[in-house]
Amino acid sequence: MLTGVSVAVFISSGFWGCGESDSDVIQLSDSNRAKSLEILRAGLWSDEFWPSMHAAEGLTLGGYGDEVVAYLEPKLPDEVDDQQRCGLARELVRAGKKEYVQVMLDILAGEDSHGHVHAAESLFKVGELGDGSIMRRRYQETSNVTLKIMAAAAMGRAGNPEAMAYLRNQLNKSDLNMVRIAGWVLARIGNESDIPAIRKARDNAELDLQRVFHQHSLAALGDAEGLQGLLANLSSEDAGTRTYSATFAGDARVLDAKNQLVVLLDDANLDTRIRAAQSLLVLSTPAPSGQEEDIANLVFTPTDENPRYTEGSVLELNDGSLLFAITEFFESGSDFAKAHIIARRSGDGGLNWGEPRILQKNTGGLNCMSVTLRRLPTPDSPQRIALFYLQKNSHSDLDLFVKYSNDEAETFGDAILVTDMPGYHVVNNDRVTQLSTGRLLAPAASTPDVTEVNHFESRCFISDDQGQSWRAGKEAVDLPKRGAMEPEVIELEDGRVLMIMRNQLGTISKAYSEDGGETWSEPSSLGPIAPEAPATLRRIPSTGDLLLIWNKNLDPSASHGGKRTPLNVAISKDEGETWILERELETNPNLSYSYPSLTFVRDRVVLSYWVGDSSKRQWSTKFRSLPVSWFYQ
C-alpha cells in the first residue's frame, strides 16, 4: 500500500526525465544487467511478500514477464489474504495475464473491506476497471478516504473528469497524508498544471515521508527542483526514502540517476536493491511512445472482388491485443450477396493489423454476416468468448447463431440457434447485452419476409442459462411505417432495460422494460433527430454516463430520411433523458457512416463503423480509438 514501503509504481509513457545525452536510454553494462536480473530473481523467490511483488514488477518491465507468470500463477489459488491476492493478481495482469483482473474486481466488490484499498490501487496501477460499476460504487463511499482516492485514481486514469477534479481538490485538504497520496496519483495521470499545487503541498509537508513523495511527484511531472530532490534522496540515510527514490528514478526516466542506482544494487535493504535493479532495466530500454490521441485507419478496404466490408465488432483478448471481426462480401454490396466473417488482430492498440483469417465460414444459403464478439464467462469457462452471427438463407429465413471459444477465439464450438422462431430476424453487429442478473439479451427486429412484408417488430431473445438455450421475450415493440428496426438494449441504473430503435419517424425511438426484456412500454422518442439508420448506445465504465452514436441528419423527402452523415456522439448523465457534450466523429457529406461497434479498452473508446462511397458502390470499415476524455472536452 501507499502507507508503507510496499509502494509499487505504474510506468506510464510521457514522463519527463533528464538525460545524460540526446539518447533516451542509459547504457547498462552486461555485468550490471546480469546483477540487476540476479537481484530481481532472488527478490521474486524471497519470503518477503511485497518485495517479491516489486521484483515481479521489475522483471515484467524488464521483459521477463514469462518468468513472473510461471512463478506467481501457482501461488494465487492458495493465497487467502485479500491484500496479497491483489498483489499476485496485479503482477500477473502486468505480466500479460489479463484474466486475473477479475480477482481484483471480486475483492473490491467483497463485503470484507480488508482488501478494498489494495484492490482499487492495484486496478489503478494496471489500468483496469471492468465495467466500472464496482469502482464507481466504492468511489461514492465516504467512510474511507484512502479508498475514495484510489477509486478516483482508477476512474480518473480511465478518463473521468470529475474524478480528476476530486483528486486535485485533495491537494488542498488538511490531512497531509491524503494530500501525499493524491500527489502520488497525479504524478502518474496528471500534467504540468498540477506542479504548483504539489509544490505547495511539498512546502506544507510536516513529515519527511510526505516531502519525499511530493519531490518525486514533481520530478515525474517535469519539475527541475523535484528532479534535484529525487537525485539527492537516492543517497538518503533512510532506507524507505532510498527505495522510493529508486522507484521514481525509473518512473520519471531520470537518466542522470544511473550511477547512484548502480551503487544501490549493493544496498543493505532488499527492497531498495530491487527497485534500483528495476529502474536500471527500465532506463536501459526506450521509453514507450505515447499513444496517439486519435487512432483512425481503414482496416478493411474494398476491392472489385470484395466491394463491401461492414458490420464489425472489436474485442480485447487477454494478451492485450485487439480482435476485429467483420463481414466480407463477395462480388456485390447487397445484403443478400455471398459473405463470411473474417478477423484481424492488432498488438499495438489498432495502429497496425495482422493478416485476416476466416472466423466464421459461410454456412448460409446466402451469407453469414453481422458479427458480435463478447466475453461471456461461466464458472466452468471463466474466459469464454462468444461469437454471434447471422445466417441468411433467404428473404424469409434469417437467424442468429452463437458459438463459444475457450481458447481466446482460436477455435469455436458448435453453433447454437438464438432466434428460435420462423422468420427474418435482423440482429445488428455488436449488439448482444448481458444484464447484471446474468441474463443475456439479443435484440432482434423480425418480419415474416423482408420482401413481402418488410415491416419489423423489435423484441429480445433471452437466455437464462449462460447462453446455452434461448427463447423469445413475451412482447415486441412496434412502430408506424416500416416499424421498429435494428434495436439496441442497455441496462439502466434502476434495473430497467432501455431499448432504442431505428424507424422512419425522424428520430430515435425508445421503450422500457421492467422485467428484463420480456415486456415493453409504449415507444416514444429518445430526443435526437435521426434518419432511418441505426444508433448505438453504451455505458462509459469510468463515469457511468451513457454514450450515444448516431447520424444527426434528417431530410424527410430523401430516401431513408436523409444521408448517414455526419456521424455524431453525445453523452447523457441522466440515463438517456437528455443529451449533452455533442461532438462530430465524421463530417464528409459525400460519404456515409453507419453500423458502429463500440467498446471500451482501459482509458479509450474503441469504435468501428462503415465508410460508404455511393458513387463507387463500395463500403470499407474504419477503426477508431479515442481517449474517453475526448468525449468530455
Q: How would residue 288 be classed by pLDDT, with cut points 50, 70 and 90?
A: confident
Burial class (CB in 10 A: 0-12, 13-18, 19+), 194: buried
Can you tell me the mean pLDDT for 594-609?
Answer: 98
pLDDT tens column, 560-585: 999 999 999 999 999 999 999 999 99
Strands 367-375 and 385-394: antiparallel
Dig out the grid coordinates for 389 from the structure. Answer: 452471427
The residue among 283, 268, 367, 288 whose CA lies nearest residue 327 is 367
Mapping DSSP to helix (H, G, I), strand (E, B) and coil, where does residue 608 land?
Answer: strand
pLDDT above 70 as % of the chain: 96
Q: Does domain 30-283 have CATH number 2.40.160?
A: no
pLDDT > 90? residue 94: yes
Q: Does residue 475 register a pLDDT over 70?
A: yes
Does residue 13 have a pLDDT over 60?
Answer: no
How far apart are alpha carbons 142 and 290 in whole angstroms? 34
pLDDT for the residue numbered 2: 39
Query: What angle is formed at CA 81 by the lines to CA 75 and CA 82, rounded to 5 degrees?
Result: 100
Exposed e or buried b per residue across 565-590, where buried means at least 16 C-beta atoms within 10 angstroms of its C-beta:
bbbbbbbbeebbeebeeeeebbeeee
| pLDDT for the residue 9 | 31
pLDDT of residue 6: 29
**Helices and strands, counts by H and E, the chain:** 16, 25
The overall longest dimension of the chain from CA atoms, in Å, is 85
Average of pLDDT values for 438-453?
97
The angle formed by the CA atoms of residues 459, 461 and 462, to the nearest 5 degrees, is 125
pLDDT tens digits, 478-497:
999 999 999 999 999 999 99
> What confidence score (pLDDT) does residue 10 get?
32
Helices (H), 141-194: 145-157, 161-170, 176-189
Give the separation between CA 171 and CA 183, rounded to whole angstroms.
7
The residue-averaged pLDDT of 406-415 equals 98
DSSP state of 308: B
pLDDT at res. 16: 33
Percentage of the chain lying above the pLDDT 90 cut:
94
- Residue 281 pLDDT grade (very low, low, confident, very high; cuts 50, 70, 90): very high
- If you average pLDDT over residues 247-272, what whole number do you get? 96
Q: What is residue 291's predicted lDDT score, i.e. its pLDDT? A: 73
Please choose, from the candidates 175, 111, 180, the residue with its C-alpha nearest in 3D space to the C-alpha of residue 150. 180
d(CA 255, CA 253): 6
**How many residues in total does the chain contain?**
633
Report the pLDDT averaged over residues 175-188.
96
**From CA 397, how far away is CA 450, in angstroms rounded?**
9
Q: What is the pLDDT of residues 502-520, one digit of tens each?
A: 999 999 999 999 999 999 9
pLDDT of residue 434: 98
What is residue 288's DSSP assignment? P
Write phi, then psi, for 150 (nearest 5 degrees). -70, -35
| pLDDT score of 334 | 96
Query: What angle in degrees, to the nearest 10, is found between the helix axes of 30-44 and 270-283?
Result: 130
Backbone phi, psi, residue 35, to 5°: -65, -40
| Mean pLDDT computed over every residue of the chain | 94
Q: What angle, rounded to 10 degrees, do the helices at 224-233 and 208-220 form?
A: 130
The pLDDT of residue 7 is above 80: no
- Residue 18: per-residue pLDDT: 37
pLDDT confidence bin for 81, thresholds 50/70/90: very high
Q: What is the pTM of this model?
A: 0.94
pLDDT at residue 3 greater than cutoff 50: no
Say how far apart CA 483 and CA 392 lie, in whole Å.
21
pLDDT band of residue 614 (cuts 50, 70, 90) is: confident
- Cα distances from 202 to residues 181, 233, 272, 320, 527, in angstroms, run 12, 14, 23, 38, 50
Whether the per-residue pLDDT at 188 is higher than 50: the answer is yes
* CA–CA gap between residue 318 and residue 322 (Å, rounded): 9
Interatomic CA distance for residues 185 and 156, integer angstroms: 10
Task: Work out the pLDDT band at 428, boundaries 50, 70, 90.
Answer: very high
Assess contact for 501 and 481: CB atoms under 8 A: no
Could you report how far apart the first and last alpha carbons of the chain are, in Å?
33
Those residues whose C-beta lies under 8 Å from the C-beta of residue 7, and which sit 6 or more positions away, are: 1, 184, 244, 247
d(CA 132, CA 120): 11
Residue 202 pLDDT > 50: yes
Q: Give me 370's grid cell.
A: 453481422
Are 490 and 433 a contacting pair, CB within 8 Å?
yes
Per-residue model confidence (pLDDT) at position 289:
75
Q: Where are the domains of the chain?
A: 30-283
Of the pLDDT bands very low, low, confident and very high (cuts 50, 70, 90), residue 140 is very high
Residue 292 confidence class, pLDDT cut points 50, 70, 90: confident
* pLDDT of 541 strictly over 70: yes
- How do residues 310-325 score in pLDDT, each as one tens digit? 999 999 999 999 999 9
Q: Are 273 and 264 in contact (CB under 8 A)?
A: yes
Closest by Cα among 244, 257, 245 to 283: 257
